[in-house]
A and B are shown apart, each in its own frame.
Chain A
Amino acid sequence: DAGVIQSPRHEVTEMGQEVTLRCKPISGHDYLFWYRQTMMRGLELLIYFNNNVPIDDSGMPEDRFSAKMPNASFSTLKIQPSEPRDSAVYFCASSPTPDTARYEQYFGPGTRLTVT
């Protein structure tokens, strides 16, 4: 398997523009997670899905952020309008259904977003 795929790897945009980050989870995984990492706040969980349904979006910073998972193989994280403070590395991760014997999240390479 190719692992979790994210695109684009780098995005530079101007303040006020819409930004869409994309993620393809590992086939067969039914959990998908979106994280954001900054120097100041570390690695934060934004939202996660189970079987394409959002389960916990308590980490989404504000209404400018939205996430969708239209099918089991694709998810998007959208920021509209973008602001300089949204500059960060955004990671997508996926996992199979956990059990007591094993639980592992697989992370993508991340998208580095710069908002000027």
Chain B
Amino acid sequence: DAKTTQPNSMESNEEEPVHLPCNHSTISGTDYIHWYRQLPSQGPEYVIHGLTSNVNNRMASLAIAEDRKSSTLILHRATLRDAAVYYCILRDYGGATNKLIFGTGTLLAVQP
């Protein structure tokens, strides 16, 4: 599986935008980019995913570099509830496997 690299931790202020980076230089043409987050004492939850184009949903936006070797998860206005570990994961939709391999993620702290 192609690997991703994320900063161990980041800090943000409440109501400010947050840009969480992810590098995936060995991404293949059939890899989707997925983001999950894990709030304290909870299981991970889906945030967003994309292939080539930028994506928006009610939780966040995903900006994907033109060469697809990096992506950025954007939280437009951070709230205290967004404090969590954010995982960037690649999944090969063309393969037979249906696994998500979680890395260490980015621990986001949000200051009031």
User: Are B43 and A103 touching (Cβ within 8 A)?
Assistant: no
User: Are B98 and A48 touching (Cβ within 8 A)?
Assistant: yes
**Is A115 engaged at the interface, CB distance under 8 Å to the other chain?**
no
**Contacts of B51 on A, CB cut-off 8 Å?**
100
User: Are B98 and A31 touching (Cβ within 8 A)?
Assistant: yes
Whether A48 touches B99, Cβ cut-off 8 Å, given contacts A43-B44, A104-B46, A110-B43, is: yes
List B64-100 residues whose CB lies under 8 Å from chain A: 87, 91, 93, 97-100
List B6-57 residues whose CB lies under 8 Å from chain A: 32, 34, 36, 38, 42-46, 49, 51
User: Are A45 and B93 touching (Cβ within 8 A)?
Assistant: no
Separation in Å of the A113 CB from the closest CB of chain B?
Answer: 15
**Contacts of A106 on B, CB cut-off 8 Å?**
46
**Is B111 engaged at the interface, CB distance under 8 Å to the other chain?**
no
**Is A55 engaged at the interface, CB distance under 8 Å to the other chain?**
yes
Chain B interface residues toward A at CB < 8 A: 32, 34, 36, 38, 42-46, 49, 51, 87, 91, 93, 97-105
Chain A interface residues toward B at CB < 8 A: 4, 31, 35, 42-45, 48, 50, 55-56, 91, 93, 95, 98, 100, 102-110
